[in-house]
Amino acid sequence: MPIIEPLLNENRIFHPSVRFAEDASISSMSVYHTLCQEAAQDSSGFWARLAREQLYWKKAFTKVLDESNAPFYKWFEDGITNVAYNCLDRHIENGHGDKTAIIFESDDGKIKRYSYHALYLRVCKVANGLRSMGIGKGDRVVIYMPVSVEAVIAMQACARIGAIHSVVFAGFSARSLYERIVDLEAVLIITADEQVRGGKSLSLKAIVDEALSMDRRQLACHVLVYQRTGAEINWHPTRDSWFHELEAKQVDICEPEWVGAEHPLFVLYTSGSTGKPKGVQHATAGYLLWSIVTMKWVFDIKANDIFWCTADIGWITGHSYGVYGPLAAGTTTFLFEGTPTYPDAGRFWDIIARHKISIFYTAPTVIRSLIKATNTDETIHPYRYDLSSLRLLGSVGEPINPEAWMWYYQQVGRERCPIVDTFWQTETGGHMIAPLPGATPLVPGSCTLPLPGIVAAIVDEFGHDLAAGQGGILVIKRPWPAMIRTLWGDPERFKQVYFPEELGGRFYLAGDGAICSKETGYFMITGRVDDLLNVSGHRMGTMEIESVLVAHPLVAEAAVVSRPDEITGEAIVAFVVLKRACPNGEEAQRLANTLREWVGKELSLIAKPKEIRFGDNLPKTRSGKIMRRLLRALARGEPITQDTSTLDNPTVLEQLKHAQ
């Protein structure tokens, strides 16, 4: 990553303003240290206190953490609760039923608002509708929907009846969707006729139809369709039904399914470095607890905030900070269906100005692409918009380079708004290392310090602590309530991937490299240490992309690496050997396009390689191992400094050096 060196030399520091600190939920470093101490001295007491303060319990828990079957940790196990009750009913009972829960803006600018009470009524109806279809506790429901109020309702309705949802990002292919449906043995897919983004519509229902047509196991799977555009779609009368028709038939009272704290709330698939995507399973109470606590600590959420997390609901960020965290904390959350660049690259600033967004949470890749757009079109400069409602900015998904940080701070936040650079993962459920905006002095490019209760450390490959200033592997040494519980259907893989024996089997392995500053103890994330790529804040496995490429009839072999990219952080470069002669010139370009489209269709739109290079072979050792380090150097245009004497076929290097 190009970002590491400037980070280590960064000496700019930004202290919270007195005004911000005065009102903040954590108002100084000494409050932060007190919380850390409380957690260190009596970890059970600390988590129990938070869980009692922040959640509604139908039946109180008596046990806090059960470590007897580590790393399969259990939290608050004998407590009984319900997530939807905590997100909706509770606020209504506290007299906040009229408060706006969701403001939604569609791609073409139409706005919908729902109060907590109005949202509650729709969730109850849809929950009753799901029950009328025979769906109940523990059943799996796949949600393949655009960002919409109906998607939130679907998630909440599942939680209300104890069904386990799995949201699949609507950019994933029919095959990816199918694999998830099969892995989960889902009984229902909730989708939309179409999704509309950037002025273009895409038929999600057709992709669901295609996915189910791959089904050879005869899954008894129903399809519920939210009518977004009214487009013509194929209809299977015995299998398909309309969301609005189901909802209209129901009463608006629905007793929640009271579940144990450890009952699975959802499964969300994410890429691993080997094999098929992993179904990360989260539990009810621990997950919800941390989403509320981090809303309060990291986003310093206040009663009149309007909070916008730009992530799609198909990612963990959309789950924790688009839906669950904001609703559980009783916040007004803003949801946007569209893209940052439609109708122009000023759309986000325009939204902030019109809706008076006060907290804005996005990814570095978005910031970088808007910087670039601003450089060519002065009319969409953030200075042209009234962004005075903003009081806090957030960043997530990938390291933020100091230049982008400074632009965000100066041009968007006008030097008034702290930036919280939040490091976390699908598996962690919520933020892990992040500043507390009223307390932590900020350093561009650093996610600063672990949150109270989170025991982050940097170790070597044997699990031994490294001294500050030495780069190493990031681990979390103690369990926390929002942590992944297991991988759906694959507890062995869960243990191997996240609690490897090499590290003693007790540390959670994040999969990222990190370095800790000697002076401040601040953490800087240096990127993945495994075969995962991070493109525009989206995580992908090189293997996943390679296996899709080699599944194409023309392809004999493929290897995927990344190179740094100004906008997307990393960009995918694929080296491909065809079953026929190596193409050149126009033919190479045409075939590269074919393969790019293939990856888009077979895997995901976000996995399309930026560049494809063809060769007669790939650089291999005599034992046949592909030399990825060499490929990385080639992709980056770096001189080959490695010893290539073990290479079986050195001539291929020349051929692969240049893009066709």
Shortest Cβ 428–ligand WT7 spacing (Å):
7
Output 420 or 656, the one with its CB closest to ligand WT7: 420
Nearest approach in angstroms of CB 445 to ligand WT7 is 9
Tell me the C-alpha distance between 577 and 614, whole Å.
Answer: 6
Shortest separation between residue 166's beta carbon and ligand WT7, angstroms: 15
User: What residues numbered 458-497 form the site for ligand WT7, per CB under 6 A?
Assistant: none
- How many residues sit in the footprint of ligand WT7 (CB under 6 A)? 22
598-613 burial code (b ≥16 CB/10 A, e <16): bbbbbbbebbbbbebb
Cβ-contact 140, 187 below 8 angstroms: yes
Q: Which is nearer to ligand WT7, 127 or 363 (CB)?
A: 363
Q: Find, among 396, 419, 383, 333, the residue nearest to 20 by Cα.
A: 419
Closest CB to ligand WT7 among residues 369, 422:
422
Amino acid at 445: G
Of these, 89, 421, 544, 602, which contacts ligand WT7 (CB under 6 A)?
Answer: 421
Q: Provide, rounded to whole angstroms, the least separation between the CB of residue 324 and ligand WT7.
A: 13
Distance of CA 121 to the CA centre of its chain: 28
Q: Are 277 and 269 in contact (CB under 8 A)?
A: yes
Give the per-residue contact string, 433-462, with ligand WT7 (x = CB under 6 A; - = no): --------------x---------------
Minimum Å distance from CB 594 to ligand WT7?
28
Task: Give me the DSSP letters along 249-282.
Answer: TS-S------EETTSEEEEEEE--SSSSPEEEEE
Which is nearer to ligand WT7, 286 or 399 (by Cβ)? 399
Which of residues 193 and 570 has its CB atom nearest to ligand WT7 in the complex? 570
Name the token pair of 262: 């450890």
Q: Which residues contact 76 (CB under 8 A, 6 or more apart)?
A: 48, 51, 61, 63, 64, 261, 262, 285, 286, 481
295 and 487 in contact (C-beta within 8 Å)? Answer: no
Cβ distance to ligand WT7 smaller for residue 179 or 247:
179
Q: What are the tokens at 394? A: 């957030």
Q: Check residue 1 for interaction with ligand WT7 (CB under 6 A).
A: no
- Cβ-based neighbour number of residue 365 at 10 Å: 23
Q: Is 288 helix (H, G, I), strand (E, B) or coil?
A: helix
Of the candidates 331, 401, 422, 536, which one interacts with ligand WT7 according to CB under 6 A? 422
Q: Beta partners for 456?
A: 476
Residues 108 to 167 in contact with ligand WT7, rule: CB under 6 A = none
Shortest spacing between CB 508 and ligand WT7, in angstroms: 12
- Pick between residue 223 and residue 451 the one whose CB is nearest to ligand WT7: 451
| Shorter beta-carbon distance to ligand WT7: residue 528 or 613 | 528
Binding mask 51-70 for ligand WT7 (x = CB under 6 A): --------------------
Binding to ligand WT7 by CB under 6 A, coded x per residue (else -) over 503-542, reads -------xxx------------x--x-----x--x-x---
Please, which residue, 259 or 457, has the CB nearer to ligand WT7?
457
Binders in 256-315 for ligand WT7, by CB under 6 A: 270
Stretch near ligand WT7 under the rule CB under 6 A, chosen from 121-129, 163-171, 402-410, 416-424: 416-424
Interface with ligand WT7 in residues 612-631 (CB under 6 A) = none
Q: Cβ(650)–Cβ(644) under 8 Å?
A: yes
How far apart are the C-alpha atoms of 429 and 480, rounded to whole Å? 10
Q: Which 3 state secondary structure label does DSSP give 453? A: coil
> For residues 174 and 144, is the Cβ–Cβ distance under 8 A?
no
Secondary structure element (H or E) that encloses residue 204, with its range: helix 204-213
User: Among 305, 312, 398, 570, which residue sits at the site for ligand WT7 (rule: CB under 6 A)?
Assistant: 398
Please identify, among the stretches 119-127, 221-229, 417-425, 599-607, the one whose residues bind ligand WT7 according to the rule CB under 6 A. 417-425
Element (H, E) at 226: strand 222-226
Interface pick for ligand WT7 out of 39, 301, 316, 533 (rule CB under 6 A) = 316
- 234: exposed, middle or buried (Cβ count in 10 Å: 0-12, 13-18, 19+): exposed
Using rule CB under 6 A, residue 425 touches ligand WT7: yes
426 near ligand WT7 (CB under 6 A) = yes
Q: Which of 396, 484, 555, 612 binds ligand WT7 (CB under 6 A)?
A: 396
Give me the least distance between CB of 419 and ligand WT7, in Å please: 11
From 607, 493, 614, select the one nearest 547 (Cα to Cα): 607
Binding residues for ligand WT7, per CB under 6 A? 270, 316-317, 396-399, 421-426, 447, 510-512, 525, 528, 534, 537, 539
